[in-house]
Copies of this chain bind each other. A is one copy, B any other.
Amino acid sequence: MPGLKSVVESLIFVADSPVSLDRLCALLEEFDRNDVRDALAALREEYGGEERGVVLAEVAGGFQFRTPAKNADYLRRLTRTRTAKFSQSALETLAIIAYRQPVTRAEIEYLRGVDSGGVLKTLLEKKLIKILGKKDIPGKPLIYGTTKEFLELFGLKDLKGLPTLKEIRELSETTRFEQQEELPLAVSAGADSDGDGGD
């Protein structure tokens, strides 16, 4: 009978998407959960070497074999592997949805300042986002969120793994603006040659 570690390795290798511990345990019900966990840990160790060409990545709530980024240049030589290209608008929209989900189209468009219908459709088609349902406000707009495929694409374990947003320097209340009630003419005059004392 094959050992558990070997079986887990085979399962992760053959599966077409990341396999979670829960899924492994469900598939291997005759084994103890702790043993499955140990097998996973041992595999992670084995596939963790600096010089490996295949690593065991933890993405989208599961485990998947992937190649290390440092080998990417060589892999691009394989004709079949297309490089993933994203437009700036797709990336922006995706970022907004990832961080603000569940989010409506109107909210996305307010934040981006442009119509985003086309981008939403593309992202839906690529399965990077999905319709989560409808928001319980007047008009019942659709709400969007990211998918498992999104996590897979960016190699994220879960949404908590998203890079932290750079903090917005808070608009320090009204005081900041009060001080500037009289606008410094110098700024504009300097930039634009001859100032004329308007008032």
Which residues of A approach B to under 8 Å, CB–CB?
2-3, 5-11, 13-16, 27-28, 51-54, 65, 67-68, 70-71, 74-75, 77-78, 80-81, 85-89, 91, 105, 114-122, 124, 131-134, 141-142, 155-156, 161, 163, 167, 170-175, 177-180, 182-185, 188
Contacts and interface: CB of A to CB of B under 8 A. Distances in A.
A5 B183 CA distance: 44
Contacts of A81: 14, 27
- Tallying the copies of this chain within the complex gives 2
Given A14-B67, A87-B182, A118 B174 contact: yes
A133 B132 CA distance: 26
Contact of A142 (B65, B121, B163): B163
Contacts of A3: 51
Given A10-B54, A87-B182, 8 more contacts: A2-B70, A5-B51, A85-B185, A87-B180, A91-B188, A116-B178, A117-B172, A117-B175
A172 B80 CA distance: 30
A167 B180 CA distance: 31
Given A118-B177, A119-B178, A178-B118, A74 B11 contact: yes
A81 B142 CA distance: 31
A167 B142 contact: yes
11 contacts: A6-B70, A6-B71, A13-B53, A14-B78, A85-B184, A89-B180, A91-B188, A115-B175, A115-B178, A116-B178, A118-B173
